[in-house]
Amino acid sequence: MTLYDMVDHYFHCLSRIRRNESQLDCEASQSIPVAITDHVLENSAAHCFTPANFYLVQKEIKRTNMYETGEILETDGSTKYLIVAKNGSKVFQVDCDDEETLANVSCSCLKFECEGIPCCHIMVVLIRLGAVMPQCCVLNRCTLNAKSGSTLDIPDHVNSMKGTRLSELLMLAKPIFEEAACSIDEYLRWKEILEHERKEKRKRDDIDGEFSTHADQDNNLKPNATPINVQDPETVQSKGAPKRMKNFLDQPKPKRRCSECKSTEHDIRTCPRIKRRR
């Protein structure tokens, strides 16, 4: 495989991954997973988790039938629930700081900390309280809004930093502009600032006359720099597979002999004795 073929294959695989990911994102945003219970907890989880993560949460909700609340301990500002297995002796402790806001809910099994999915012991407590899925039990990377930030796909040169810089600026400006869109005064203020900056940029470009050097400046290349000719690496002859060690019990292969004169230098087709007879 040449260097060009390798790069072409890489971009082909990358485009296929992005296409499949876009298809899954479209299906997740246009549909809601089917719930198997009437709990408010499961219905709220179906609207915030992606389908793949929701089915993992749904499995934990099914497992709540295997546990029950054993004891409730009230402490200063928090409540501890002892969750006991029905067919065993395992006991898990679920800590809840505030039952009204559910600001922090944790379990002694540490499943949420390891896998990012709330465990069935936490589900037992939430179902008992009749609460929806709290925000503390939902990781942003598992939700439908995980890709709410702006993404950029620019087919620039591999050495260009233009795409990275533009993505960083967009991510910094996005929360500011979202907040400004909620207020007319802030919207007009930022609109005036951006229009003023664009006019100033055009004036500087007209004065300097550097319209044709943007690509070189983005790639940090000198105008007179000679381009680097990247070619395929040199082909190195491999040594091949190592020789197999011969077993001392192996018998040597018998040499082929002529059936007429029994010589090992030729066969019957080129035997000189037969040629003389002819």
Strand partners, 143: 49
The Cα 247–Cα 123 span in angstroms is 66
- Going from the C-alpha of 225 to that of each of 118, 160, 221, 228, the distances in angstroms are 57, 16, 7, 9
- Tell me the C-alpha distance between 73 and 41, whole Å: 23
Residue 239: helix, strand or coil by DSSP?
A: coil
In a structure prediction context, what are the per-residue pLDDT tens digits for the chain, which is 278 residues long? 788 888 889 999 999 998 998 888 888 888 888 888 888 999 999 988 999 899 999 999 999 999 999 888 888 778 899 999 988 778 999 999 877 778 889 999 999 999 999 999 999 999 999 889 988 898 888 888 777 654 555 454 444 567 677 778 888 888 888 888 888 888 899 989 999 898 888 888 777 765 555 555 555 545 555 667 777 778 777 777 777 777 777 777 788 888 888 888 888 888 888 888 87
Q: What does 129-155 look like in DSSP terms, one character per residue?
A: HT----GGG--GGGBTTTT-S------
Query: Is the pTM of the predicted complex or chain greater than 0.75?
Result: no
State the greatest distance between any 2 C-alpha atoms of the chain, in Å, as a whole number: 118
What is the Cα–Cα distance from 157 to 219, expressed in whole angstroms? 8
State the Cα–Cα distance between residues 210 and 251, nearest whole angstrom. Answer: 82
Burial label, 133 (beta-carbon count in 10 A; 0-12, 13-18, 19+): buried
Nearest to 118 by CA among 103, 133, 132: 133
